[in-house]
Structures are given as C-alpha cells and as structure tokens.
Structure 1
Amino acid sequence: MVVPKQADVGRSVMYQPIGCPPVGGVITGITERRVFVQLGERSYNLAVSPADLQFLEPSTQADRESIGSAQ
C-alpha cells in the first residue's frame, strides 16, 4: 500500500487488486480516498484504492538508502 502525496503525481506505480494480475501505471491525481492512475496504454484514468498500489521506485534518497540497507 502506498500513502501518496500531491508530490507523487507522475510517479510510476504497480496496480494489483486482489485476484488480478499486476498492471503498471502512472499517478495522475490524488484525492482524500482515491488515487487516479493511468494504467498501461489506456487513454483514461481509473480511481483506485491506495491499498492496491505499490511504488515502483523510492521517491527520495533516504528511501533509496533504506531499501538498499535492507537487502
């Protein structure tokens, strides 16, 4: 699950609801309860739950270092 902020608009994510294959996408907007994501080659955005998203890469140097030290 991600906890997106407005600064995350434009970041790559993986969307995977329970029982479905994962699909890559890009965050296009954020509201209090939903994240809007353009998935794959679609020309439209879907409003999805943050619980179904994972960031594909860390957003900050500190995040990258914490991931690197955990491996």
Structure 2
Amino acid sequence: MQCTACGWPLAETSVVSAHRTSEGLVCYRRCVCGRITIRLRPPRRAAGAASTPAPAQVLAASGGQRLAG
C-alpha cells in the first residue's frame, strides 16, 4: 500500500499510535508528507482455520492535516 497523497510506501511510515479492538489492530501512521493514515489489521485466525490471513484495510486518511508531535 502507498500514501494516496505522495505515493510513499505505508510500510515505511511512522507509527503514531496503535491499539487492539474487537475488530483487530488499529494503527495510525504518519507519512513523510504529513498525512495520517488509519489502518485496520483483522485478528489472526485460530489454527486449523483458513491459512491465508485477511489483508489490512485502510480506514481513513487525513487531508494533509498534521498532528502535534
């Protein structure tokens, strides 16, 4: 996945915050251009279930707004 504003790989962005929810791991990442992206990684399935993990989903991206920090 890449930043929708500048094309930078999201895997190379800074993690601002991450926490677990009932839906999986929610991760807020800041790109080098300042955009914040929110991603959801579903929980891993139990052993014996389908071996392919569900992909992460981009939930939202800010319009270039910068957070303090």
Q: Fold conserved (TM > 0.5)? A: no
Computing the radius of gyration from Cα coordinates, the structure with the larger value is 2
Bigger relative CO (Cα 8 Å, ≥ 6 apart)? 1
TM-score (norm 2): 0.28
